[in-house]
Amino acid sequence: MFDALDTQRAYRALLSAMAEPGTVHDAPPGLPLVLATLIDHEVIFAEVGDAHWRHADFVLIRGGDSGGELARVRQGTMLDPALGASAIYELDAVGEGPVALSLTGPGVGPRPRTLRLTGLAEAEVGLIQRTRAEYPRGVDVLLVDRAGRCAALPRSSTVDRS
């Protein structure tokens, strides 16, 4: 399936995406490699709607729409924000499309950065914004498409519609 070199490349792409919110990086073939890189026997992984997904460290949201459930993903505490989960959205396209997000915050630079997406439901933008309302609590968001492109919206980023 994937070897250590594949997962190292994907890990670097994901770290770069988290360090530079809204930038697009390559991790082909996409979701399978991202999951193989992040998931091991020490973390809880679930798809939205699975029996124990609210306790998961990584929550997969297929099709760009959590049905409002992103608000129920673990967001950590003020004393231990690292207890917050990461949401992984599988989208049609990262880096192009009709949904335009404007990002500000650490790693973005002096001007807002625009990230374009295809397949993220309109309601999800508001949900992502709400998960950041009590920073440092929140949910880190990874966006992955079928072509292997990825981007990140760390909880420290402010996300607005462009």
Domain that holds residue 145: 4-161
Q: What pLDDT, in 10s, does the model give residues 85-138?
A: 999 999 999 999 999 999 999 999 999 999 999 999 999 999 999 999 999 999
Mean pLDDT estimate for the chain: 96
Q: Which amino acid is at 111?
A: R
- pLDDT of 97 reads 98
Give me the pLDDT at residue 58, please: 98
- Pairing between strand 158-161 and 93-104? antiparallel
pTM of the model: 0.96
Of 91, 90, 76, 79, the residue nearest 132 (C-alpha): 76
pLDDT at 158 over 90: yes
Label residue 49 by pLDDT band (50, 70, 90). confident
Please, what sign has the CA dihedral across residues 10, 128, 146, 83? positive
At residue 1, the pLDDT reads 79
C-alpha–C-alpha distance, residues 142 and 17, integer Å: 8
Q: What's the number of domains the chain is made of? A: 1
Interval 59-78: pLDDT, tens: 999 999 999 999 999 999 99
Mean pLDDT computed over 49-57:
90
CATH of the domain at 123: 3.40.50.11310
